[in-house]
Amino acid sequence: MIKVCIADNYPVVHFGVKSYFKDNADISIVANVGNFLMVRDILQTKDIDVLVLDLELEGLSSIFEVKAVLKNFPKTKIIIFSGLSEQIYAPNAIKAGVSGFVHKSEKLETLGISIIKVSQGKIIMNETVKKNLALIAKQSKSERLYRKLSNREVEVLRYLSGGKKNHEIAEILNLNEKTISTYKLRLLTKLNVTNLVDLVDKAKKLEIV
């Protein structure tokens, strides 16, 4: 039996997923947590095979925190279950070490199949993501600019697009404010824009926000 923990902000997600898998012969939902601080506690007290994690989980500010979980609990596989853009976040998540990305628009059957595959040591990515990446590879240089962005740059851009100030982002990511300013300048350069308004507009076009 694959022991699964669901880490999500919304009770309806916990209820829906647990109800769907309650009679499943292979998957058992053994824990539900509503914020990132609880994730470590659960992993320390229970043997969790697969952690199903939303990138927008309360208390989770960076993909680097996910990498830390993977390092500290290597026996636990992680599937990102999120409504964020697959095209942007799935490759970054896989690069960070997670075993799969399932968009919340998918059927729970897809999540179940993914949990089983991940527990077997496989890396899974939705076919839509693969197709999108294949299409992007054929696009113009300007349309492929987002591929040059690091995980940290994507995070900073997301917070800037959400209206956060440099000092607020620095506090969230536990970085120096000057470091955030540096990331902002890199983003302006990489995305070929000259001001924050255009930067946010480009982020929306790239579906980062």
Q: Two tokens at 208?
A: 């980062």
Domains of the chain in sequence order: 2-136 (3.40.50.2300), 145-206 (1.10.10.10)
Q: Two tokens at 16?
A: 């829906």
- pLDDT of 97: 92
Q: Two tokens at 135?
A: 């299409």
Among 38, 125, 118, 27, residue whose Cα is nearest residue 75 = 118
- pLDDT of 145: 52
- pLDDT of 85: 80
3-state secondary structure the chain: CEEEEEECCCHHHHHHHHHHCCCCCCEEEEEEECCHHHHHHHHHHCCCCEEEECCCCCCCCCHHHHHHHHHHCCCCEEEEEECCCHHHHHHHHHHHCCCEEEECCCCHHHHHHHHHHHHCCCCEECHHHHHHHHHHHCCCCHHHHHHHCCHHHHHHHHHHHCCCCHHHHHHHHCCCHHHHHHHHHHHHHHCCCCCHHHHHHHHHHCCCC
Q: Which residue has the tokens 């980062």?
A: 208
Rounded Cα gap, residues 191 and 188, in angstroms: 5
Which regions of the chain are under pLDDT 50? 142
- pLDDT of 204: 80
- pTM for the model: 0.73
Rounded Cα gap, residues 119 and 135, in angstroms: 30
- pLDDT of 160: 92
Rounded Cα gap, residues 191 and 199, in angstroms: 7
Rounded Cα gap, residues 134 and 118, in angstroms: 23
Q: Which residues contact 178 (CB under 8 A, 6 or more apart)?
A: none
